[in-house]
Amino acid sequence: MEKSLTATVLFSCTLLISLFVSSSAQTCKNYTFSGNQTYSTCTNLLQLNCSLHWNYYPSNMTADIAFRKNGATTSNWIAWALNPSGQQMAGSQALVAYLRSDGTPYTYTTQVGQRGSIVAGNLSFEVPNLTADNTGGDMTIFATLKLTSNLVSTSQVWQEGPLSGGTPSQHALTGENGQSVGTLNFATGSVTSTGVSSPKDRKRNVHGVLNAVSWGILMPVGIIIARYLKVFKSVGPAWFYLHAVCQTSGYAVGVAGWATGMKLGSDSPGITTYKTHRNLGITIFALGTLQVLALLLRPKPDHKYRLYWNIYHHTIGYTTVILSIFNIFEGFDALDREKNWKKAYIGVLIFLGSVAVVLEAVTWMIVIKRKKTASSDKHANGVNGYGSRVQQTA
């Protein structure tokens, strides 16, 4: 049974890692800009064959961005915009670019009107640098944005449309043109498109689910089983096997969750927002690994070092779970769009806490009752023994 369980856990761990940790190729990362401009973060936008690259400087809320349209033509214009009022082009703060008849790129800023007009004009925030480039069929808008607090995390819109008489005219309203909206967080690197998460967001969600289930649910359940079920004599040794299954499964799933987190970190070298979350994750993984390795050195119950091993095992176990719960909430704060997950996990913790409180009271009652029974039996045996000795003396 133990060999079968170990094989199942190892297979599950390997399968989870292969499914969720494997790297997905990101074409935006492979692109090289003319002039050797480099950007720490990029995302492939899911419509109109575009990508966005940026460096964000939180100290002054400044962002250097490059919006690239692959396969741009001389008969089309392109635009990228921020819109704190919603996911739409109307009312947005836009950067527009197109090629003049002589083949040179032209770019300007505009506040898009409610009717979609894109006449040149200043934006609500400063754009100190604004240029455009057309290389190898790719049109790119380069800009430096001095963001305000409501624009660090906001809606973004991107478009392309036809030129008429050398000036931009109305773009299509259906197909990909009608879906090229989403959200953007310069600080965290989170990007969505028309309500559909990007591949990075999906990996982030997988990372959150795996760690919440493993470190945040399976591990606490395993501790509850070990602390309370062994008091019930009818359970016998089953409590130990249930405890081992919960902890081993939790560690296996946790390894997959930790690995996805490390992969997300390596894919976002310019993002430092999650430093505390990352460091806690590494610490939790190390403590969990120590717990697993400690099983190989577990003394027998009557060994003189068993007491010290128990102290170590309990201390590391409780520390790991406490840090895990704290770090899970750190992660939920990063997944600010998944507030329902946070509420659901709070509900799980309340349930587990309630179960623990009830079992704590019940097990204490059982232990006290047993002690009283044992004391009464001992007293009765002592009296009977004294009486027998008196009779024998007589």
What residues are designated binding site?
A: 207, 243, 277, 313
DSSP element (H, E) containing 229: none
Angle of CA points 328, 281, 41, to nearest 5° = 95
What is the C-alpha end-to-end distance of the chain, expressed in Å? 61
Binding annotation for heme b: 207, 243, 277, 313
**CA distances, 384 to each of 148, 374, 375, 392, 394 (Å):** 88, 15, 14, 12, 15
d(CA 81, CA 149): 16
CA atoms within 13 A on the CB side of 170: 6
Query: Tokens in use for 109?
Result: 């800023």
- Is 39 strand, coil or helix? coil
DSSP 99-165: E-TTS-EEEEEEE--TT--------SSEEEEEEEEEETTEEEEEEEEE--GGGSEEEEEEEEEEEET
Q: What residues have CB less than 8 Å from 200, skipping those under 6 apart?
A: 43, 189, 190, 191, 264, 267, 268
- Is 301 strand, coil or helix? coil
